[in-house]
Amino acid sequence: MRTLKILLTSALVKGLVGQAVGWALGYSFVALLRALRGLPTPWLYEPAVAFGAIISLLGFLVAAGVLADWLRWIVGKKTELKHGAPAGQPGWARYINVDTNHKVIGVQYAITSILLLLVGGYFAIVFRIELAQPGMQWLTNDEFNTLFSAHGIVMIAGILLGVGAMVNYLVPLMIGAPDMAFPRLNAFSYWVTIPSAVIILMGMAVGGWDTGWVGYATLSLKAPLGVVLFLLGFWMNGFSSIASSLNMLVTVTTMRAKGMTLFRMPIVVWGSIAASIIQLTATQTVGVALTLTVAERVLGLNFFDPVGGGDPILYQHLFWFYSHPVVYVFVLPGLGVIAELLPVFARKPLFGYRWVALSSLGIALVGFLVWAHHMFTSGMDDALRVPFMFSTMLVAVPTGVKFFSWVATMWEGKLPKNPPTPLLFVFGAISIFLIGGVTGPILGTIPTDLHLHDSYWIVGHFHATMFGGYIFPFFAALYYWYPKVTGRMYKESLGKLHFWLMLPAFWVMSIGQMSVGLLGMRRRVADYDPALGITTTHILITLAALVIGWSVLIMIYNFIASARTEPAADTNPWGSRSPEWQIPSPIPEFNYVTPIEVVGEPYDYGLAGSVYTRTIAPAPSGD
């Protein structure tokens, strides 16, 4: 009963109610304006739905209390940051209320991310079952289109939240800061993602859409109503990206502990900086692309429809200027996790630390110069093709730096004979990111791309880069930092089961996708010709997708069960040098009770007498 009361009065529930109220108000406002002009408003009238969606975001934020402190500042009141659970409520209530502690927000991001990955993965399994056989079995074409489109955007939102989880939880700890530079903005960044996810999912309820996650004009101008909610939800997620990346860059600049020079920061921090630079800037251009599309649909402005003189290629340029670099946002923190974990388990210094650190920035900067390689077949200016082919190949250089560093770090290292789960996931990530990487130049080369464009080969390549660069490192991070977050060890046997189900299933899925692509399978179609001879492979891909889905459920069970039943874990079970492992688990509210000082290199594992951080003895109190 008490639990129910805490749930119902939580910021989450209040926000969702506020969102519904906001939506109704926005919708009625437009209907009222029309009524004043003597016009009827049909049910699900598009401008009213769109305006309602924008007001619903405000409704959520106001009702959940995310803006409370800022609204008080406007009328000149000073507010203190609140710490801990709401008065008189148990500790878990923090996670469903607005909290400004970066560790709480990190866990909120992680849970929301896993939920979204489950939803997006469920969509994938539903349409994969349809694809197991040629012909149409249990979905209509429209349902199929909506499902693969929603799979794309929900997974991307889930991945962005997972990046937020890693960055928020780890970066302040790793640089020795008590919290992020702007704790309230940090809470805002998290809470804005909930209403935007709701809006995207509502898009499926009001008719779906068939544009894929790219939302190309002019298809998006003719798609059903759902596309407007998809575009708006995507757009609102951008607030989260921009605010959290700004916060992260400021935190790293101004909040580092004494002695934490740039080249003593862990690689995860470097990866987060590089990812944040991309998010801070490129998100704005996709925001413009989405805004202009909504304006063209709802307000009748003309940008992309050639009938009024518009240019559909312009949408693709604006879209890919963000959406290519954003895949580096997904992978850079993950690649940082690989570089963080390998030296811990190999008991050896990270090979070429400075090169690895700078390669993160290198990937981010080159990432801004390659977007048009998605558009070789779009009909853009031919003169753009070759420069973009060469810049695309250039990405392999900083990525190669990372690969060689990982291999050289493992070389003659003291890797454990029976690797624990995080290390297994790191190995899995490296092997999969390798196949994802080497299938890329084939797509970046114009002649082969013209053949493979829009085929299942792309699907295979993209899923390999995402699983290798994000999913596997993210799971490695979850297992690795689980004892630090909860104070308990996860069940090693279940972790290993998860890995040994997921890795082979992923290989079957990825190789299968690439092979059917080479044999002529188009992507984003619900049906295929049995004469292609790819039915068996399609069945295997579907089965592999199911195995991956089940294995992730095992992980979730493992985490929930272990938090209740397992005994307390050691403070530093992996023998890491990083400062967050030198303080108790779970970590105290303000991280370092006694401030730390950095006196050595981060990854000098196995070198006698080397020290990374030490605590500063507290100065004698004056009062």
Partner 1 sequence: MSTITAKTSHDDVHAPEIPYATQLRSNRLGLWLFLFSELFLFGALFTTRFVLWGNTRPPLSQEIGLLATVILLFSSFFMYRSETAIAYGDQPKFLNNALLAALMGAIFFVMVVVMEWNVFRLSGELFGIELFGHLKPGDGVYGGVFYAMTGMHALHVLSGIVFILIIWWNGRRGAFTPERHWGVEAIAIYWHYVDVVWVFFYPALYLMGKVV
At its nearest, how many Å lie between partner 1 and the CB of residue 90? 7
Which CB, 24 or 67, lies closer to partner 1?
67
Which CB, 528 or 592, lies closer to partner 1?
592
At its nearest, how many Å lie between partner 1 and the CB of residue 74? 5
Which CB, 127 or 304, lies closer to partner 1?
304
Which CB, 417 or 564, lies closer to partner 1?
564
Residues interacting with partner 1, by CB under 8 A? Answer: 74, 76, 81, 83-85, 90-92, 94-95, 103, 107, 178, 181-182, 242, 246-247, 249-251, 253-255, 280-285, 287-289, 291-292, 295-296, 299-303, 308-311, 314, 317-318, 321, 485-488, 563, 586, 588-590, 593
How far is it, in rounded angstroms, from Cα 263 to Cα 393?
28
Which CB, 121 or 310, lies closer to partner 1?
310
Distances (CA, A) of 459 to 163, 435, 468: 22, 13, 14
In terms of Cβ atoms closer than 10 Å to its own Cβ (0-12, 13-18, 19+), residue 333 is buried
At its nearest, how many Å lie between partner 1 and the CB of residue 150? 26
At its nearest, how many Å lie between partner 1 and the CB of residue 532? 40
For residue 232, give the nearest of 60, 67, 52, 66 by alpha carbon: 52
Which CB, 210 or 296, lies closer to partner 1?
296
For residue 16, give the nearest of 7, 4, 28 by alpha carbon: 7
Which CB, 180 or 199, lies closer to partner 1?
180
Peptide bond into 586 cis (omega under 30): yes
Peptide bond into 218 cis (omega under 30): yes
Q: DSSP state, 609?
A: T
Distances (CA, A) of 604 to 221, 235, 409, 578: 56, 43, 11, 11
At its nearest, how many Å lie between partner 1 and the CB of residue 501? 26
How far is it, in rounded angstroms, from Cα 459 to Cα 541?
12
Which CB, 163 or 350, lies closer to partner 1?
163
Contact between 81 and 99 (Cβ < 8 Å): no
At its nearest, how many Å lie between partner 1 and the CB of residue 243? 9
Contact between 34 and 40 (Cβ < 8 Å): yes
Which CB, 322 or 351, lies closer to partner 1?
322
How far is it, in rounded angstroms, from Cα 334 to Cα 330?
7
CA 532 and chain centroid, separation: 36
For residue 335, give the nearest of 420, 460, 437 by alpha carbon: 437
Count of C-beta atoms within a 10 Å radius of residue 19: 27
At its nearest, how many Å lie between partner 1 and the CB of residue 434? 33
